[in-house]
Structures are given as structure tokens and as C-alpha cells.
Amino acid sequence: MIEGIAEKILPGGESTVRVAGSLMLVANAVPGDQLSVRPTVTRRGVMRAVIDEVLVAAPARITPACPVAAECGGCALQFLDATAHAELKSAWVRDAFSKLLEKDTQWIEAETVNIASRRRVRWVIGQDEQGRFAGFYQHASHQVVRHDKCMVLTSALTALHGILTPYLYEDVEAVQALALMDGVHVIVETKSADITQLENLPALLDGGQLLQWWWRHEGITRPLKKPIKQFHDSLPVGDRTIQLSVGPDDFVQGQQAGNCQLIRQIQQWSGSPRRIADLFCGIGNLSLPLAVATGASLFGAELNPASVRAASKNAKQLGVDAHFVQANLFEDFDMVPYIGVDLLILDPPRRGAKRICSAIHKLMPEKIMMLSCDPAAGARDGALLRQHGYHLKGLQALDLFAYAGHVEALSLWERGA
């Protein structure tokens, strides 16, 4: 055991702790803590350590409300006062984009979010002396932590957790759930094809929410209950809302209110585009509300074929002139439909959109809006856009996961001076 002082919380939630002139990364530390730590492992040349004792607590350190905060890997910021989260996450985004900011860049800080707001979850199955349970992995481990009530989940997901135990037989590996405006998708992941014990599944939660049960085995998701219930997300279009059909495997942002905030900002920054391209489009979460608001034609691409089908179906139901195709956007793809659009929307996964941003001179959109779940990757991609004559006109930090060491960055880029 050695002593050190916590200096800075990094994106992801680990803190740098200075020990005898060198730095270690430690979970659950708060800047200013004087700690006794124990080194555990070196990854990518950086030593990790765990806290054995808080010798002197920093002023911002709190006793977390979650009883398993020290073990559970789901929330990285439980020991930091919640009033400081938005400022911290805003700093992560601003620091990442600092070299790209200009005098006229509109900067919007993150807002404090509702704690019990996470609507998407994956529980892994563990076992202890009390039996099998649905919990979360311990930090940097495959040990499963039991919890009675996760404080960051919506009430519907909390209610679902309370009824799962009878269905967690030996072959069940995990349970996923997505709570939407009119029901909850539940996916039971199993090791084998034997699902005889997944019978008599409830159709409703105690709160009245509809349940649609699914079974996933060997990467294929199948319905456990028929007829299949269709569930929807409510998205803003100006002063009204529209509904998008969302399937069990479709991606949606983990917090409904934050997703609406994001969509409103896109509509505010977009102006009145007539042609929109949406790459990494998913089910059309970002682009379809904008197309409804402006009457624009829409061209989208996405790797997941189920998402492409869902986006096409949603566009048809909304009366949007849209064409969605399946494409691997990390490799060569047909760029012709997306050349010269008024607005290009990019919502890549964590690795970013380096290939597309490197080839932006072939597409030459008037405006680009990029949503980056890793601000460092977003800033790297933004540097490529600037090399091709685009300027950072707007930057917003978005906290879509209460207590997590995660932040989204929405950036607006315009061509020319």
C-alpha cells in the first residue's frame, strides 16, 4: 500500500493519483483526496490502483446514495457531489475541442440531469448464497454485483428488475431492456436453445407498462410473445411531437429527455435544409424529426440492416421523402447520394468518423453536425474537417447518463470563413 493525492477526474471517470512523482489511475477518487492505494495492473503502459483507505477526504467527496457504489462499475462518479457533474463533463468536452474553438463558436455547457432517467440497461446474471440475480459487473472485473434497486434507472426498469428472479434459470446469461413511451422491450440472452422455462411471462408491469419479451441466442433475437407489440419513442418537431417505432435491437439514446434536448438543438442549428444526409443513421432518430420539420429530402446509411429497415418504415409512416441503405461507413461506400447536401449529420460509434471526415472534400456539405460519444475522437475528426475548410460554429456538451463517466459532444461545422 502506498499513499497519493488525487488530482483530476478523466473522461471515463477514473482519476489521476500522484504517487511519488508518478501517476496512477484510480476509480472512485475525487480531486483533493489523500489516499492509500494498492496497485493492481498495468494496461497500455498505465498503472491502475484501487483505494484501500481515504486518509483525508476532499471537500467535494460525498457518501454515495448507492450502497454498492464502491464495487459496481456502472457509475463512475458516485463519490463526487452531483452538483459538480455537469461542470466536470462540460470541461471534458471543452478541453477536447480547445484547439478548434473560434471566437464566434457558440458554446453550450451540459445541464444537470434527472438521476432516475436511464431507460436502457443490460443486467448480467450472477449467483451468490441467496441464489441467481440480475446485477452489474464490478469495476474492471467480471464479478457480478448484486443490487436491490439501481438509482439511475427509470421506474419501469426498476419494476422490471423486481420481477426477473423466477426467469433467471441456469442458461440465462443476461437480460437487456429498453423502456419506451408505451412499453418495455425485454431481451433474455441464453446459452442454449432450451427456453421451456420462459413460459407464462407477464404481459404487464405493476405500473401498467406493457412488456414485449424477446429471446436472444447465438446473436439472433426472436419474439417470446406473439403478437408482437410495437413500441415508440416520442421526439420533438418544433412545438409538437412525432413517434418513431423502436425495435428491441434498435439504438436509442439512453435518456429520453436528453435525446429530445439533442434533437431540438439540431433543429435550432440546422436552418432550413432542403437535402439532408445522415450517416450512421440508425433508425433516423436525429434526421427524421428534422426532415418532418423542414420538408427536406433525406438520404441515410447504416451498417445494421434491421436499423435500415426501421428507418425506412418510420420515414414512410411520417411521410418523409427518404432513402436509407445498408453500408459499412468504415470502408469504401457509394458517396454519390450524399454529395453537396445542405446538411450532413454524423453520429458514429465511439471510434469516430475518421474515414468520412478525411474524405469530406468529396462530399462538401454546407453544414455538418457531428455527435461524438467520445469527445477526443470527435475533436480528432473535427481537426480533419478544419483542414478541409470547415469552422467550428457551435459546440454543446450533453450529459445523457447520470453518474456515468460519459459525455456526448454535439458540434456544428460550416464551410468557409
* Residue positions annotated with a catalytic role: 373
**Four-point Cα dihedral 75, 76, 81, 85, nearest 10:** -100
Distance CA 212, CA 219 (A): 18
Distance CA 27, CA 20 (A): 19
Q: Are 254 and 120 in contact (CB under 8 A)?
A: yes
Q: Are 37 and 26 in contact (CB under 8 A)?
A: yes
Cell of 341: 447536401
Distances (CA, A) of 151 to 47, 174, 292, 307: 31, 20, 36, 30
Among 376, 369, 379, which residue's Cα sits nearest to residue 279? 369
Q: Are 2 and 37 in contact (CB under 8 A)?
A: yes
Distance CA 312, CA 84 (A): 41
Helix-, strand-, coil-residue percentages of the chain, each rounded to 5:
20, 35, 40
Residue 270 phi/psi, 5-degree rounding, is -75, -25
- Tell me whether the omega of the peptide bond preceding residue 375 falls within 30 degrees of 0, making it cis: no
SS3 call for 285: coil
Distance CA 346, CA 365 (A): 12
Cell of 119: 431507460
- Cα three-residue angle 385-388-391, rounded to 5 degrees: 55
Among 126, 119, 193, 130, which residue's Cα sits nearest to residue 157? 119
Among 264, 235, 239, which residue's Cα sits nearest to residue 398? 264
Q: Residue 239 — left, alpha, or beta (φ > 0 → left; ψ -120 to 50 → alpha)?
A: alpha
SS3 call for 240: strand
Cell of 225: 410473445
